[in-house]
């Protein structure tokens, strides 16, 4: 809860700014006073960036969950919370900093523009010991960095507090979270803050539903408008607007599964991998748009493979928006070359042999498998969704736009508006790899 004195000072500064007397008032302060003013988070923070007094049920919280869009100020809130915890604690306070990877934890939580080094005034700033992956404060408190790639490193250490960043991107989310909870055992009331852009995953859903132990704050990207480039905000709002991806990445909204959807989000999470195993076949699937004007559908471009283990792996979603034919065809050939693919699988309902001819112009002799949609999208997609349900498909990394589209596709089509172009390309790719049983096509003779 914001301190009353800080609120009064904030209001006074705003009044001086309106009346034109702010510069004169600041000139009366010495350097130390200016530093204290600039680094007093109680003055500058929004209410959603300050720790809640209690959970929704009125109990003391163990976990503060900060859900926000990109650039909404989540990192600053997390870093300032750690700073305040250290300042108010005895020496030898122990903190865990857990990120998607060690590199991500260092780049964002420690050295980022809103990270721990940036938010401390010079005399309070901790020292980063890169070799030991830790921060050491002048008073003796220590924060250790951990990666969700290696949950076992959390076995053994114990902490008073923890800051977890972007848990929805953690590779081993459940195991990492569990190992951390066993380590939060120092002091009278160990606590943790979680800063993340939400994505539908079991761990996040459980945290949101835990009203007794978890306090939840929410923020949109636009809420932090004063600290963002105006061109950035205008561009992303124009591009993504009220789309599912925009609601998630800009508004910090948790997009849940559609009850009648063919795909479930937990299928993606359960089998997601960081790297593909040895591969037997690779294809690039293209679902071309009918037109290329401003209102056209996107050109679906998905790279997928069949592993030597017999399972399918989605390697890339490189879907292009409003691209003319020569652009998406050129890009498709480049993807084939970059991934060492066997062939391009191209849907030719709209362009017929012209699609093949266009690809041949760009790379003579390129192997193309022409496919035609003789059945509806739902019927074509059902067997591919069944592969996911059986655990036979893994996404190599995260593909938020593709996964949102799959999870939003139901009997009546895509929830909202638009064509499921990414889904169509995926269906063609996995049908070719896992369902038709054909060998790789021969190169075309030219």
Which tens digits make up the pLDDT trace of 275-286?
Answer: 999 999 999 999
State the chain's mean pLDDT as an integer.
Answer: 87
In order of 339, 377, 430, the CA distances from 306 in angstroms are 13, 23, 9
Residues 283, 303: contact at Cβ < 8 Å? yes
Q: H-type helices in 135-223, by residue range?
A: 173-183, 202-209
Identify the band that residue 9 occupies on the pLDDT scale cut at 50, 70 and 90: low
Proportion of the chain above pLDDT 90, given as a percent: 58
Which tens digits make up the pLDDT trace of 111-167?
Answer: 999 999 999 998 899 999 999 999 999 999 999 999 999 999 999 999 999 999 999
Which tens digits make up the pLDDT trace of 342-369?
Answer: 999 998 876 556 788 889 999 999 999 9
pTM: 0.62
What tokens were used for 20?
A: 């034109």
Longest dimension (CA), the chain: 82
Element holding 164 (H helix, E strand): strand 161-165
- Per residue, what are the HEC states of 295-338? CCCCEEEEEEEEECCCCEEEEEECCECCCCHHHHHHHHHHHHHH
The pLDDT value recorded for residue 385 is 95
Residues 126, 136: contact at Cβ < 8 Å? yes
Q: In angstroms, rounded to a whole number, what is the distance separating the alpha carbons of residues 150 and 436? A: 38
Identify the band that residue 200 occupies on the pLDDT scale cut at 50, 70 and 90: confident
What tokens were used for 170?
A: 């953690």
| Location of structure tokens 């306070």 | 93
In order of 89, 173, 182, 242, 318, the CA distances from 178 in angstroms are 25, 9, 7, 35, 35
């Amino acid at each position: 809860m914001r301190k009353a004195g800080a609120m009064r000072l904030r209001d006074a500064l705003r009044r001086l700014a309106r009346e034109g007397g702010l510069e004169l008032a600041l000139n009366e302060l010495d350097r130390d006073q200016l530093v204290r003013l600039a680094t007093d988070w109680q003055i500058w923070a929004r209410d959603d960036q300050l720790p809640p007094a209690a959970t929704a049920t009125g109990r003391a919280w163990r976990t503060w969950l900060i859900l926000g869009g990109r650039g909404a100020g989540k990192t600053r809130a997390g870093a300032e919370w750690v700073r305040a915890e250290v300042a108010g604690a005895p020496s030898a306070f122990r903190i865990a900093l857990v990120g998607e990877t060690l590199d991500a934890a260092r780049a964002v939580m420690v050295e980022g523009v809103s990270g721990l080094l940036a938010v401390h005034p010079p005399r309070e700033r901790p020292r980063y010991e890169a070799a030991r992956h830790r921060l050491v404060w002048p008073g003796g408190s220590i924060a250790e960095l951990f990666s969700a790639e290696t949950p076992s490193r959390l076995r053994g250490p114990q902490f008073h507090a923890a800051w977890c960043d972007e848990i929805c991107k953690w590779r081993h989310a459940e195991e990492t979270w569990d190992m951390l909870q066993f380590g939060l055992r120092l002091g009278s009331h160990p606590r943790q803050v979680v800063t993340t852009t939400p994505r539908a995953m079991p761990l996040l859903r459980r945290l949101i539903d835990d009203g007794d132990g978890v306090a939840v704050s929410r923020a949109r990207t636009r809420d932090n408008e004063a600290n963002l480039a105006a061109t950035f905000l205008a561009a992303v709002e124009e591009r993504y607007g009220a789309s599912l991806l925009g609601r998630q990445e800009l508004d910090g909204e948790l997009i849940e599964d559609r009850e009648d959807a063919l795909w479930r989000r937990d299928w993606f999470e359960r089998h997601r991998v960081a790297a593909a195993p040895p591969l037997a076949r690779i294809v690039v699937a293209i679902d071309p748009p009918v037109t290329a004007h401003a209102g056209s559908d996107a050109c679906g471009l998905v790279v997928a493979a069949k592993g030597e283990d017999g399972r399918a792996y989605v390697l890339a979603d490189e879907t292009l928006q409003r691209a003319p034919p020569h652009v998406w065809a050129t890009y498709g050939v480049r993807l084939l070359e970059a991934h060492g693919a066997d062939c391009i699988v191209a849907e030719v309902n709209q362009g017929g042999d012209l699609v093949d001819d266009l690809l041949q112009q760009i790379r003579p002799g390129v192997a193309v498998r022409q496919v035609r949609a003789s059945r509806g999208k739902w019927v074509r997609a059902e067997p591919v969704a069944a592969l996911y349900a059986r655990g036979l498909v893994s996404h190599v990394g995260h593909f938020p736009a593709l996964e949102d589209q799959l999870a939003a596709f139901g009997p009546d089509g895509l929830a909202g508006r638009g064509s499921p172009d990414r889904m169509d390309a995926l269906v063609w790719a996995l049908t070719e790899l896992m369902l038709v049983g054909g060998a790789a096509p021969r190169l075309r003779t030219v």
